[in-house]
Amino acid sequence: MTYQYLFGPVPSRRLGISLGVDLVPHKICTLNCVYCECGVTTELTLERREYVPYGKVIKELDDYLTNHPMPDYITFSGSGEPTLNLRIGDVILYIKGKYPKIKIAVLTNGTLLVNPEVCKSLMQADVVLPSLDAATREAFLRLNRPQHDLDHKEHIEGLICFRKEFEGKIWLEVFLLEGYNDNSEDLIALKSAIERIKPDSIQLNTLDRPGVLPGLTAVSFNRLNQIKDLWPFPNIEVIAPVSERQTKKSFRKDIENAVLETISRRPCTLTDLSHILGIHENEINKYLSTLEANGKIETLNMGRGIFYKLKRCK
């Protein structure tokens, strides 16, 4: 069976072997973050719908889990905001009922947690990984470019409220970008919001590869570590840059070679590579960032999107 809504499994440091489930088509989201690795949001919406049919997702999950070893986690993520899918809670309940040994993680931008129905739908998850990049209106508009009815205060209140109800783990991700949300006012506001949210852990992250706007600058690794040292949270870590990531066991040389071979024949977009290689865009992204950081490939911005091509030797 070819899977349309499942991807991986991918080895993950924190989640073990994780099977991905994509509950919204590319690229439907409540935000249009300047740093998004999935590209520009084509449908910026707060409307919750059954974007991907429940029955089809369940069929794929049953087929996969009958014919493959059990993953440690099933992770809801992908190329948009998974809580926009109205049936996410039903999918979680189905997995919990039929495959109780598998844990469930949800990667979300957290903007819909202010809606009690969304909170309720995630209650059976084991881990929720929300993001919070902005605790001031200006930074929220600048960096996350939200759907116009979203408010940064409600985003934070939703996270606080969810924390009070949710018995699983909350691993918060904070994405920092130079000139967007790294000034002292933004950092102070973020710190006090996190104090109120009380996540179980915090990850500080920054740009690995081009986002959807040109000229974005990552916050340096040293600066991230300085911020980490200034914030008084016990479980806070800085995500290692790509150069360090390459040494990890999950890095597969065969996939890297397949990406290089494919784009050596003709430049490809992320979506082209995903179709040609049969690997989910999120997985391919990891290899593109490393190849780009190592100077092996370069990007070309053309009508159909960002193309990747081999870098010519000078």
Residue from 83, 85, 109, 206 in contact with ligand SF4 (CB under 6 A): 109
Nearer to ligand SF4, 51 or 64 (CB): 51
Nearer to ligand SF4, 83 or 299 (CB): 83
Q: Is there binding between residue 203 and ligand SF4 (CB under 6 A)?
A: no
Q: Which residues fall within 8 angstroms of residue 32, CB to CB, at 6 or more apart?
A: 40, 41, 44, 144, 145, 146, 212
Q: Is there binding between residue 206 and ligand SF4 (CB under 6 A)?
A: no
The answer to whether 6 and 63 have CB atoms below 8 angstroms apart is: no
x/- mask, ligand SF4, residues 115-154, rule CB under 6 A, reads: ----------------------------------------
In the complex, the smallest distance separating the C-beta of residue 174 from ligand SF4, rounded to whole angstroms, is: 13
Residue from 36, 84, 177, 194 in contact with ligand SF4 (CB under 6 A): 36
Residue from 15, 38, 118, 219 in contact with ligand SF4 (CB under 6 A): 38
The region of 8-16, 33-41, 54-62, 277-285 touching ligand SF4 under the rule CB under 6 A is 33-41
The region of 28-36, 114-122, 232-240, 270-278 touching ligand SF4 under the rule CB under 6 A is 28-36
Residue from 10, 21, 26, 41 in contact with ligand SF4 (CB under 6 A): 41
In the complex, the smallest distance separating the C-beta of residue 50 from ligand SF4, rounded to whole angstroms, is: 19
Q: Is there binding between residue 33 and ligand SF4 (CB under 6 A)?
A: yes
Considering only residues 79 to 98 of the shown chain, the ones binding ligand SF4 according to CB under 6 A are: 80-81
Residues interacting with ligand SF4, by CB under 6 A? 29, 31-33, 36, 38, 41, 80-81, 109
